[in-house]
Amino acid sequence: MKQTLTSVAGALALAITVSTPASAGGLVNSAVNDWTGGAVMCEIVHQILENEMDFKVKRIVMPSGPGRDEAIRAGDLDYGCELWPSYSTTIQKYVTEFGGDGSMLKVADAGVIGVSSYYVPRYMVEGDNAPAPDLKSWENMNQYADLFKTLETGDKGRLLGCPAASWQCEDNKRMELLGLNYEAVELGSEAAHWAEMQAAYKRQEPFIAYAWEPHWIHAALDLVKVELPAHSDDKWPATGWAEDVTFNYANPEFAEKNPEVIELLNNFRLTNEMQAPMILEVDVDGKDMEEVVAAWLDNNEDTWKAWMPK
């Protein structure tokens, strides 16, 4: 019976769907980042494509990483926003600028510049009862290692390192080379990493953790950077991270066929300062991301009008 009902309903619905007008600009499949900053970035492009350029956008949300890059190479996804070069294991294989075969096209810098480092909560370094007032640079880390001791790490301090080995942060190597009495633990997923930090923060417990900016965690928790030695390729990983000049990327065939989309992506720039308030509104105030972006577009017409393809 269910089947009969479904087919009747289906027939009814078909009548409706047939009358939907087709999009003039065509359909694009966009890779939507699963973190707010990157998602905001893409959403701006989507809304411009939909409202101003008559495109229909299919938003496909999946964790970023090699799987998504494979999909862009294969043409299952047309473009993606805000790729962080430090954490991509595939750009050296696919992006020409990084020595790859060109099966993934770097369109242009996205505007966001990423900074990664170790962070501690402000209550640890500031205030009258702050347990580690001098913990602002790596040189003083050993002095406070005792504060971070746990069951699992024994005598060493516990550093919440990069959550996934595939990001190649080499936290433990860094500790060894810098002679720091810490053990970096890997929590497996970003979600676990932030959850651990947030729970410790709520309980005002000491922790030292890897993090980066821009990120919503800084809107939720008041964190202070621990300075690492300036980045150098030769001494890596005994140094801090290089700045991440993020970029937007696309499937080369799609780029050839849709020059106007590529021109938009090419002109598009969203700096850290422009992105941060939107992240705050979505993740801290709990607003709907589409609405936040729509409001931004309303208020910044001059900015995005300049990005439009000529």
Partner 1 sequence: MRLRNNNAATYHGFDYRKANLTITAAADNSADASINKVPLNKGLVSFRGYNLTIPVFIAIGVLISLAVYSLAANRFPFPQMVIDAFPFADWINDGRVWLEANLKTYTRAVAEVVKVPLEWLEETLWTLPWTVVLLLLVIPALAYGGLKLGLLTFFGVLFWGMVDMWYEAMSTLSLMAVSVAFSAILGVMLGIIASQSDRFDAFIKPILDTMQTMPAFVYLIPAIFFFGVGATPAAMAIIIYALPPAVRLTNLGIRQVPATMVEAAQSFGSSRLQMLFKVKLPQALPSIMLGVNQCIMMGLGLAVLAVFIGGGGLGEQIWKALTRLKVGWAFEGGISIVFMAIIFDRLSYAISGVAKDQTRHVGPLFRLLPQKWDQNSLAKAIERPIGALCDLFNNIGAKLTSLVATPLRFIVPGIANVFSNRPLLIPGLLILIAVYFLATQFKWMNSYPRELEFSIREPIDFAINWLTVNPTFIGITKGIRSIVFLYFLDPLDSFLTGLPWWYVMGLLGLIVWKSTTMRFAVVTTTFLVFLAAAGLWEISMFTLAGTSVSVAICMLLGVPLGILAAYFKPVDSVLRPILDAMQTLPAFVYLIPALFFFGGNKTTAVIATVIYAIPPVIRLTTLGLRQLPTEVNEVAGSFGSGPLQTLLKVKLPMASPSIMLGLNQAVVFALAMQAITPLVAGLGLGKEVYDAMSTADMGKGLTAGIGIVLLTILLDRLTQGWTQNQQKALGL
What residue ranges bind partner 1 (CB under 8 A)? 1-2, 4-6, 8-10, 12-14, 16-17, 29, 31, 34-36, 58, 60-63, 65-71, 74, 76-77, 89, 150-152, 160, 164-166, 185-196, 198-200, 202-203, 216, 283
Nearest-approach distance from CB 43 to partner 1, in angstroms: 13
Residue with smaller CB distance to partner 1, 30 or 246: 30
Write down the least CB distance from residue 304 to partner 1, Å. Answer: 25
Cis peptide before 214 (omega within 30 of 0): yes
Residue whose C-alpha is closest to residue 197's, from 170, 213, 220 = 220
Closer to partner 1 by CB, 254 or 304: give it. 254
Q: How far is the CB of 36 from partner 1 (least distance, A)?
A: 7
Cα separation values, 160 from 163, 192, 195, 213, 220, Å: 8, 10, 11, 16, 18
- Of the pair 51, 189, the CB lying nearest partner 1 is at 189
Beta carbon nearer to partner 1, 189 or 271: 189
CB 265 within 8 A of CB 79: yes
Rounded least distance, CB 94 to partner 1, Å: 12
Say if residues 260 and 309 touch (Cβ distance below 8 Å): yes
Looking at the DSSP bridge assignments, the partners of residue 61 are 32
Query: Do the beta carbons of residue 138 and residue 226 sit within 8 Å?
Result: yes
Least gap, CB of 10 to partner 1 (angstroms): 6
Dist. CA 293–CA 288, nearest whole Å:
9
Residue 241 CB, nearest approach to partner 1 (Å): 20
Nearest residue to 116 (alpha-carbon basis) of 23, 22, 14, 218: 218
Beta-carbon contacts of residue 190 (< 8 Å; ≥ 6 apart):
35, 163, 164
Whether the ω angle into residue 237 lies within 30 degrees of 0, i.e. cis, is yes
CB-wise, 171 or 240, nearer to partner 1? 171
Shortest distance (Å) from residue 172 CB to partner 1: 15
Q: Indicate the residue among 186 and 240 with the shorter CB distance to partner 1.
A: 186
Nearer to partner 1 among residue 137 and residue 168 (C-beta):
168
Buried b (16+ CB within 10 A) or exposed e, 186-201: bbeebeebbebbeebb
